Homo-oligomer: A and B are copies of this chain.
Amino acid sequence: MARPLVLHPDRLFPPGTGTRNLARRLYAAVEHLPIVSPHGHTDPQWFADDTPWANASALLITPDHYVFRMLYSQGIGLEELGIPRRDGTPSTADPRRIWRLFASNYELFRGTPSRLWLDHAFATVFGFTERLDADNADRYYDTITDALAKPEFRPRALFERFNIEVIATTEAPTDQLSHHRKIRESGWKGRVITAYRPDPCVDPEFEGFRANVQQLGTLTGENVLRWKGYLNAHRIRRDYFKTMGATSTDHGHPTARTFAFDATQCQRLLDRAMDGSITTDEAEAFRGQMLTEMARMSLDDGLVMQIHPGAYRNHNARVYADFGRDKGADIPARTDYVRALAPLLGEVGNDRRLSIILFTLDETTYARELAPLAGHYPVLKLGPPWWFHDSVEGMQRFFANVIETAGFYNTVGFNDDTRAFLSIPARHDVWRRIACRFLASLVMEHRLEEAEAHELAVDLAYGLAKKAYRL
């Protein structure tokens, strides 16, 4: 009864013969280009220790909030899926039972990107030729779990097999980057670099903010209670991150608001952040001021700045209390860029040394705000569709809404932004296919020449990311 699992060579291309043939030709030239993954959340320990993943569920379900949020939305408990409780109560869920639960609900993923990514991994990494269902759940589980024990399925081997030229992880300022150091000292040639994500030390509402800042002081020897010392501490850590390959910083704020206060105001905000008396509005001001400060530091040290605003984090208070962050309960909210970015851009918006890559979870800003901003300011570029919008339809909306005003060269190609390692080749493949599809449509409508489309296909798949992230 099992249905065949086939990755059709024309998947994601439009049905019309002319466009499909052209998309195919464009794609053939970029399909095998190396993967440049300039921003994501894979665990550097995988590549440092190269320990095998334990089993199919531990690899594909438990760490992937795209997967378990969907199961949760249909009434399956997070405990049943082995998600660890915050209080340390061990998950008693048996990994095989987790897998069966997942397999018997696999139809929930119809029409979603997770289905495309999982099927891609099932077929290309593990060689399955039958679609996952309740009946073959155990066979899937055993095949994957057995494979993971083999050398060719260890993290470094898969990294090489996936043809990853470079991958960036994301670490907090207080991270010692010991995994990155170990990778570098190991002699392995895989290029794994870090990125500077200061949220835990610049967001007064982040769990443990004050302890984080104190630790930042300890690490750097700076007096982080003084504004100047606090900024210096960041500068020192940024420099250290650069020694571990960092070419970028990353900022995940609730909004895109920025500020340009004077030093006295900044010291006052820092005081209130550190004595715990800071209000919600002041916390927003503190974060926004730090975006401007980080932009200034980038002028000096050349790190490319990424801004990922607009997620309402931990929307489900109960799930947050029981299971903690990143459990599929972050919800996008309306995001303004025009007024929000004005203070920062007023300070550094015309300085060609700086490069700021903007992302959004609010697609209404593509044509209305982001493309006009990036189509004017020398410092701005636009990141690819992100998170919920890293999808077939999301990418098509991105291209249709952004390119006419921003052009192709104010965009930065693709990044996968994922913690699900096996989804990386699939995500880049979807991007390459949709980029080629979009280019093919432009050519078919005589808005672009085919030779130009070929150049752009390579840029979108590979060149723009490398250049934008200074890799």
Q: Which residues of A contact B (CB under 8 A)?
A: 3, 6-8, 10-16, 18-19, 69-70, 72-75, 107-113, 115-116, 131, 312, 315-319, 328-334, 336, 338-339, 342, 345-346, 349-350, 352, 361-364, 367-369, 371-378, 380, 388-389, 391-394, 400-401, 403-410, 441-442, 444-449, 451-452, 456
Contact = CB atoms under 8 A, between A and B. Distances in A.
A446 B367 contact: no
A332 B110 contact: no
B375 A445 contact: no
Contact of A112 (B73, B372, B404): B404
Contacts of A405: 112, 388, 391
Contacts of A10: 446
B373 A75 contact: no
Most chain B CB within 10 A, of A115, A372, A391, is at: A372
A70 B375 contact: yes
A112 B13 CA distance: 23
B372 A388 contact: yes
A349 B394 contact: no
B377 A451 contact: no
A299 to B, nearest CB: 15
A338 B342 contact: no
Contacts of A376: 69, 72-73, 315-316, 328-329, 331
B331 A312 contact: no
B389 A393 contact: no
A423 B116 CA distance: 38
A393 B401 contact: yes
A352 B75 contact: yes
Given A15-B18, A328-B376, A331-B373, 11 more contacts: A8-B446, A15-B19, A15-B445, A69-B376, A70-B375, A72-B378, A73-B380, A110-B407, A112-B405, A318-B350, A363-B364
A321 to B, nearest CB: 11
18 contacts: A12-B445, A14-B445, A15-B441, A72-B376, A73-B407, A108-B407, A312-B338, A316-B349, A316-B377, A317-B346, A318-B349, A331-B376, A333-B339, A333-B368, A361-B368, A362-B364, A363-B364, A393-B401
Contacts of A72: 376, 378
A64 to B, nearest CB: 14
A66 B12 CA distance: 33
Given A73-B377, A393-B401, A446-B10, A452 B369 contact: no
Contacts of A371: 388
B336 A334 contact: yes
A456 B110 contact: yes
Most chain B CB within 10 A, of A73, A319, A352, A451, is at: A73
Given A319-B350, A345-B316, A404-B113, A11 B447 contact: yes
Given A368-B332, A445-B15, A407 B316 contact: no
A452 to B, nearest CB: 6
Contacts of A392: 404, 445, 447
